[in-house]
């Protein structure tokens, strides 16, 4: 098992390098002079020239990449001129908030998606199944940014149960209860689409598994129906559902962009949107890179979890 994890860890290195090439390449593709793009059109010529040599833009592209990569590995992602602080500091501070939001959503969508999918499969063609199928359809068709607004109107404006925004820092502040109050609506909103996708695939996987011979064997040896469903069928279905949950990690990390904007959550998504508007491209670069790298690790976790469940993959 540990050997397997080690191998998988090593296999992430080329993926991470590939990501860095793409992210670096994007900056190189920006039309016009990058320094002007970074500093904005009101930059003085001296500043532009200084930045050009600072960034090593007078060197060949390949060399630039390796210099950039070397800095990156030392935790140096450059400096945000709009915020006047190192990109790495800003990105990691924001990333913590996004991770809390995305993690909460991922937990929610896994739990509810699995429960709904199993319930629908067990009562195939029954009312539970129809209701779940219908909710799944609504879930995958709802724009999350709109749903967030509707929830704010209901729970913050009408009922005044939960705050619409006002989350400033993850650590300190109002303590865990306050964090939960602020987290509830954004996490639920972000989880809706992923829950629907997981429910749909869990249902399909369960139905597929329930037709297998080994389920008949379990019934033939007198195992209770509960155990047949929740132990035999569910474990087998999990093998195909786990990678789907891994993919949902990507959708949740990306979807956080909308949710953080709607609920004013101080995460990396909102930072990215602002950075794009202000053309703070080093900040965009750092943010995209960190979130993409974290997605690679979410997928790694999913792979390992799948291997733990399925001994045939070892």
C-alpha to C-alpha distance for 238 and 121, rounded to whole angstroms: 14
Least distance to other proteins, CB of residue 229, Å = 9
Q: Considering the complex, state which of residue 154 and residue 169 has its C-beta at the smaller distance from other proteins.
A: 154
- Does position 292 interact with other proteins (CB under 8 A)? The reply is yes
- Does position 19 interact with other proteins (CB under 8 A)? The reply is yes
Q: Considering the complex, state which of residue 141 and residue 177 has its C-beta at the smaller distance from other proteins.
A: 141
User: Tokens 């532009």 belong to which residue?
Assistant: 48
CA distances from 4 to 14, 143, 301, 309, 314 (A): 17, 39, 12, 14, 7
Which token pair is 204? 């399909």
Stretch that binds other proteins, among 40-48, 62-70, 176-184, 253-261 (CB under 8 A): 253-261
H helix intervals, 1-58: 2-29, 34-39, 45-54
If one counts every other C-beta atom within 10 angstroms of the C-beta of residue 251, the result is 19
154-173 residues in contact with other proteins (CB under 8 A) are 157
Q: Quick one: which of 262, 263, 265, 302 contacts other proteins (CB under 8 A)?
A: 262
- Does position 181 interact with other proteins (CB under 8 A)? The reply is no
Stretch that binds other proteins, among 51-59, 89-97, 107-115, 119-127 (CB under 8 A): 119-127
Q: Considering the complex, state which of residue 179 and residue 300 has its C-beta at the smaller distance from other proteins.
A: 300
Which token pair is 194? 């992923």
Q: Quick one: which of 191, 200, 266, 267 contacts other proteins (CB under 8 A)?
A: 200
Query: Is-contact 152 160, C-beta < 8 A?
Result: no
Q: Considering the complex, state which of residue 135 and residue 184 has its C-beta at the smaller distance from other proteins.
A: 135
C-alpha to C-alpha distance for 299 and 246, rounded to whole angstroms: 5
């Amino acid at each position: 098992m540990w050997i397997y994890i080690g191998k998988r860890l090593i296999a992430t290195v080329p993926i991470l390098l590939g990501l860095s090439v793409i992210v670096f390449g994007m900056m190189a593709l920006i039309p016009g002079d990058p320094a002007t793009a970074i500093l904005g059109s009101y930059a003085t010529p001296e500043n532009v020239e200084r930045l050009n040599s600072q960034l090593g833009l007078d060197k060949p592209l390949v060399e630039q990449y390796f210099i950039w990569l070397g800095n990156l590995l030392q935790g140096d992602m450059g400096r945000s001129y709009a915020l006047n602080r190192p990109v790495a500091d800003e990105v990691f501070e924001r990333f913590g908030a996004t991770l809390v939001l995305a993690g909460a959503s991922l937990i929610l969508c896994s739990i509810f998606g699995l429960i709904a999918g199993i319930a629908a499969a067990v009562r195939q063609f029954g009312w539970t199944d129809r209701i779940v199928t219908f909710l799944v359809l609504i879930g995958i068709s709802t724009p999350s940014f709109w749903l967030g607004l509707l929830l704010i109107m209901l729970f913050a404006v009408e009922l005044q149960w939960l705050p619409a925004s006002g989350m400033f820092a993850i650590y300190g502040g109002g303590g865990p209860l306050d964090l939960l109050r602020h987290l509830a609506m954004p996490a639920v909103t972000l989880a809706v689409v992923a829950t629907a996708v997981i429910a749909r695939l869990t249902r399909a996987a369960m139905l597929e598994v329930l037709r297998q011979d080994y389920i008949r064997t379990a019934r033939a040896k007198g195992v209770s129906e509960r155990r047949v469903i929740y132990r035999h069928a569910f474990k087998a279905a999990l093998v195909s559902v786990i990678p789907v949950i891994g993919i949902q990690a990507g959708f949740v990390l990306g979807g956080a962009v909308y949710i953080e904007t709607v609920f004013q959550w101080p995460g990396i998504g909102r930072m990215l949107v602002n950075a794009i508007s202000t053309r703070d491209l080093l900040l965009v670069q750092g943010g995209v890179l960190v979130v993409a790298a974290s997605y690679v690790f979410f997928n790694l976790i999913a792979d390992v979890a799948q291997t733990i469940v399925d001994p045939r993959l070892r």
